[in-house]
Amino acid sequence: MASFRQSDKQTKAQFADAAVLRGEGGETHQVAGKDVPVLTTQQGVPVSDDQNSLKIGPRGPALLEDFHFREKIFHFDHERIPERVVHARGFGAHGFFEAYESLADVTSADLFQRAGEKTPVFVRFSTVAGNKGSADLARDVRGFAVKFYTKEGNWDLVGNNIPVFFIQDAIKFPDLIHAAKQEPDRGFPQAQTAHDNFWDFMSLMPETMHMALWIMSDRAIPRSFRFMEGFGVHTFRFVDGKGKSTFVKFHWKPKLGMQSVVWNEALKINGADPDFHRRDLWDAIQTGNFPEWELGLQLFDDDFADSFEFDVLDATKLIPEERVPIRRVGRLVLDRTVDNFFAETEQVAFHTGNIVPGIDFTNDPLLQGRNFSYLDTQLKRLGSPNFTHLPINAPKCPFHTLQQDGHMAFHNPKGRANYEPNSWGGAMGGPREDPDRGFRSFPAPEAGDKRRVRGELFADHYSQARQFYVSQTPVEQTHIQDAFVFELSKVETPAIRARIVSHLINIHPDLARSVAEGLGLKDMPKAAQPARKVIEDLPPSPVLSIVANGPKSFRGRKLGVLVSDGADAGLLDALTAAAEAQGAVVELVAPRVGGVALGDGSLRPARQKINGGPSVLYDAVAVLLSAEGAKTLLNEATAKDFVSDAFAHAKFIAFSAAAQPLLDKAGVLPDGGCLALKTPDDAKRFVALCGELRFWEREAKVHAV
């Protein structure tokens, strides 16, 4: 505990320094009746005029001695740092991890020793392929990187929202990423895998096929960061106090359940609100609806690893939860948005090599490669080996190294000792190693020939892809087929399209057939030659489906209500009360953002004007119009789109009687997902129905191709 108080002091001192750097404190003066700090230069010199550069006379010339202008422009010119080579677009938040129980039976990691212990965390979600300014709803893997500031140092669990990866060996990572990003000659497409280079690479690398199924599934178009799972992907080790090792796979399970959007919706969200995921997380935290995940562990020993059909070191394979059940050991809560996006979200530096005593690596060749890459990339991106001095990256426990100097060193060792061993003794001699508490690698015995080879079981590329496919509901299988057809329809080289289908034949004949048909392939290609026999009878793993495991609740979701002047206030209030009782949010969309005057004369402000609030921004919609309002909106194309898109995207739709002409114009054929709103009880029934999230039965009826 004593050392912890010291750490608090250290952190406080760090933040005090940072406060000075941010210009907090210091002189204030009155502007428009309020006390505000005096604007200064970087040197702290008060500025008298920030509107005009220093000139000879009103028309110039400007003077070189204008140190304020020069400093301001100099700093601006150097504001940008390189964006991440992958996962460039991201969004972060602070929170905590709380342990449910002691895990001393499997690990000595300090954060898992005491039930109820809270460890501060910073989490950054991201897309992989797009640039920093790309849109949130790209079809892509999402990064799910967690930095735990534990009492024994920082542990980074740098995961994704998909439990497997494209490749088995880190040596192929630059090829994978080059192929996925913009093509080098033309600089496009942005944030898309729907192009020749990507599918060319995938088709020539059968090990990517399991991941191909996952990224063509709805997992790659999540509705919200709050509604997606996370995975550590690799097999790691836990090591207990006696030095015993247990293998572990890490899972994050969202408390609000999983949910994705449909592809046509994703395309439209990208136009309507490219920051859809960012805004969603920001809004949730700002309104006190703190998103939460549970940490799940799959723990297993050498015997299981030896008996499993696949190699637990192969990151293109998962271990079905039905085979090794998940133990839920704690919760992650995000309860604070950042103060400054650049300082925190942009400068946070994750590294798989950041682990703490009680946790260790395995020989997964992908993980081993990552352990090299992350430190390396931070130096390039953040420009100095002292990036760990930045508050977002610094541990919150005491730390004492003998490292010194370098660009932007915030702290250097005090006193004479900057080497070890030395004979200065006591505090004078600086920090020393501690064989009892210090990190020790698990002493795994290793031997073998030095060769460039892979484990034999790594050669099975199709069995788990097939297992994933058969674990999906028919709706999700159709989405996978459609996604392949969409992506490959953007591939210009027919041979690449056919090569992908040749792999799909080994995964599932129905999938191959529907993709071939969707592409209009004249002849079915020959199946690719599998390097190992496909295991066709792996049982389905039902937990892999999103739809089959829906939350059955509208909690955390959003209802968009299109309203007009004169609409029924009682119905709107009943809808709002029912949605809020479920923990959902209601937003009004109206012809004018100033709002509407309802039938009872009350004025209600709108969140969106109809042409800025399409239904793709909502999980379900209601159309509450007066006869007069319906007449006006019949001639507004975006009102028609509001309804027809909600219908096409299989959303639940509630409508007042007067809204019927708009529904007719939008081509809505009322079905079990549409509900006429007549009484406040209907409003309750509707919101209960929305807990199903989508009316999937409709989907097949609105897509002929």
3-state secondary structure of 672: coil
**Rounded-to-integer distance, Cα 481 and Cα 699, Å:** 14
For residue 193, the minimal CB distance to ligand HDE (Å) is 16
- Angle among Cα 239, 240, 242 to the nearest 5 degrees reads 115
Dump the DSSP string for 321-350.
TTTSPPEEEEEEEEEEE-S-HIIIIIT---
Question: For ligand HDE, which is the closer residue by CB, 350 or 647?
Answer: 350
Residue 97 phi, psi (nearest 5): -110, 130
351 is catalytic: no
For residue 239, the minimal CB distance to ligand HDE (Å) is 21
Question: For ligand HDE, which is the closer residue by CB, 369 or 612?
Answer: 369
**Rounded-to-integer distance, Cα 191 and Cα 193, Å:** 7
Residue partners of 628: CB distance under 8 A and separation at least 6: 564, 565, 566
Asked if 148 and 121 count as a contact pair (C-beta separation under 8 A), the reply is: yes
Q: Which of 68, 87, 277, 351 is catalytic?
A: 87
For residue 267, the minimal CB distance to ligand HDE (Å) is 24
Question: For ligand HDE, which is the closer residue by CB, 173 or 642?
Answer: 173
For residue 265, the minimal CB distance to ligand HDE (Å) is 25
Question: For ligand HDE, which is the closer residue by CB, 90 or 591?
Answer: 90
**Rounded-to-integer distance, Cα 216 and Cα 195, Å:** 14
Contacts to ligand HDE by CB under 6 A: 84-87, 90, 124, 126, 143, 145, 158-160, 165, 170, 173, 233, 315, 348, 350, 366, 369-370, 373-374, 377-378
For residue 194, the minimal CB distance to ligand HDE (Å) is 21
Residue whose beta carbon is closest to ligand HDE? 143
Dump the DSSP string for 1-58.
-HHHHHHHHHHHHHHHHHHHHTT-SS-EEEETTEEEEPPB-TT-PBPS-SSS--BSST
For residue 233, the minimal CB distance to ligand HDE (Å) is 4
Q: Which of 154, 160, 354, 386 is catalytic?
A: 160
Question: For ligand HDE, which is the closer residue by CB, 150 or 160?
Answer: 160
Distances in whole angstroms, Cα of residue 614 to Cα of each of 609, 645, 676, 690, 703: 9, 8, 21, 18, 20
- Number of residues that make up the chain: 705
Q: Residue 475 belongs to what H/E stretch?
A: helix 474-489
For residue 151, the minimal CB distance to ligand HDE (Å) is 23
87 is catalytic: yes
**Rounded-to-integer distance, Cα 477 and Cα 479, Å:** 5
Question: For ligand HDE, which is the closer residue by CB, 68 or 172?
Answer: 172
Tokens of 466: 């097939």
For residue 381, the minimal CB distance to ligand HDE (Å) is 7
Question: For ligand HDE, which is the closer residue by CB, 235 or 582?
Answer: 235
Tokens of 525: 């290609």
The phi-psi region of residue 228 (left if phi > 0; otherwise alpha if psi is between -120 and 50; otherwise beta) is beta
Question: For ligand HDE, which is the closer residue by CB, 40 or 377?
Answer: 377
Of the candidates 345, 356, 400, which has an alpha carbon nearest to the alpha carbon of residue 97?
Answer: 356
Residue partners of 699: CB distance under 8 A and separation at least 6: 262, 475, 478, 650
Chain-centroid distance of CA 46 in Å reads: 43
**Rounded-to-integer distance, Cα 276 and Cα 91, Å:** 11
Give me the active site residues, please.
87, 160
